[in-house]
Amino acid sequence: MASILSILASPYGAASRGATLAAQAAANLQAADPSLALVERDLSTLARSVIPSSYADAVLARQPSEHAAFDLSETLIREVEDAAFITIATPMHNYTVPASLKLWIDLVLRHSRSFAPVNGVKTGLLGDRPVLVVVTSGGAVTGKEAGQPDHLTGYLTDVLSTIGISDVRFIYLEGLVNPVQAGIAMAAGARAMLQDPVFAGRQGGESAMAHAVNG
């Protein structure tokens, strides 16, 4: 059964403002295709971990996927493989992704499993699928008002591209530290999502069908 993978990277999990918009995108997709299951991966449960040396050893020794050190990595990679659509609700933490999302990245980008070099270039082994990234930030991140660097957008784009995913769009809920601006940002974010043919739910059935056929 095709699924929507909802990755929640905020310390506030499903209560975060980014997660609210991502949940609306998932509801749109399910309205268009009720057969889609929702798989929620709340990364706040990973937040207190670090990559263990057993995982680093197994990666560097190119151990097979069945190796016990890869259990969590395999679970996370399979969630991506099974997803027809993915939403990632992530806050910006010090200009980039929060540590929990970085941990997810370190477990999902695995040599010879989710990517492999082809002619010296890291090439994705997972199929492409639509991804919506909802970025929440206390200050402005885009446009002339942005008084800070953005190492999140380019980084996450490169990370997803490494595993084979390039159908990615970003929605920014910025300036959330200011309650008035927060209301404006949430309304603008909801409008931006409705402009997106996939996550507004208008192409849900077709995309899920394409995923089921192409893997």
Ligand X SMILES: Cc1cc2nc3c(=O)[nH]c(=O)nc-3n(C[C@H](O)[C@H](O)[C@H](O)COP(=O)(O)O)c2cc1C
Sheet strands (E) in 26-175: 37-42, 83-91, 115-118, 121-124, 131-136, 168-173
What are the residues binding ligand X (CB under 6 A)? Answer: 10, 12, 16-18, 91-95, 136-139, 148, 176
Comparing CB distances to ligand X, the nearer of 126 and 133 is 133
* Shorter beta-carbon distance to ligand X: residue 137 or 162: 137
- Minimum Å gap between C-beta 17 and ligand X is 4
Tell me the Ramachandran region of residue 195: left when phi exceeds 0, alpha when psi lies from -120 to 50, beta otherwise.
alpha
Q: Smallest distance from the beta carbon of 9 to ligand X, in angstroms? A: 9
Beta carbon nearer to ligand X, 12 or 38: 12
Output the smallest distance, CB 93 to ligand X, in A.
4
The residue behind tokens 């190796």 is 67
Least Å distance, CB 185 to ligand X, is: 10
Q: Residues 6 or more apart from 68 whose CB is under 8 A from it? A: 54
The least distance separating ligand X from the CB of residue 3, rounded to whole angstroms, comes to: 23
Cα four-point dihedral sign 210, 103, 57, 67: negative
Residue 16 or 162: which CB sits closer to ligand X? 16
- Using CB atoms within 10 A of its CB, is residue 166 exposed (0-12), middle (13-18) or buried (19+)? exposed
Q: Which is nearer to ligand X, 120 or 143 (CB)?
A: 143
CB of 56 to ligand X, least distance (A): 25
Q: Which is nearer to ligand X, 58 or 92 (CB)?
A: 92
Residue with tokens 């530290």: 177
Measured distance CA(103)–CA(98) in Å, rounded = 9
In 3D, which of 72, 75, 94, 101 has the Cα closest to residue 10? 101
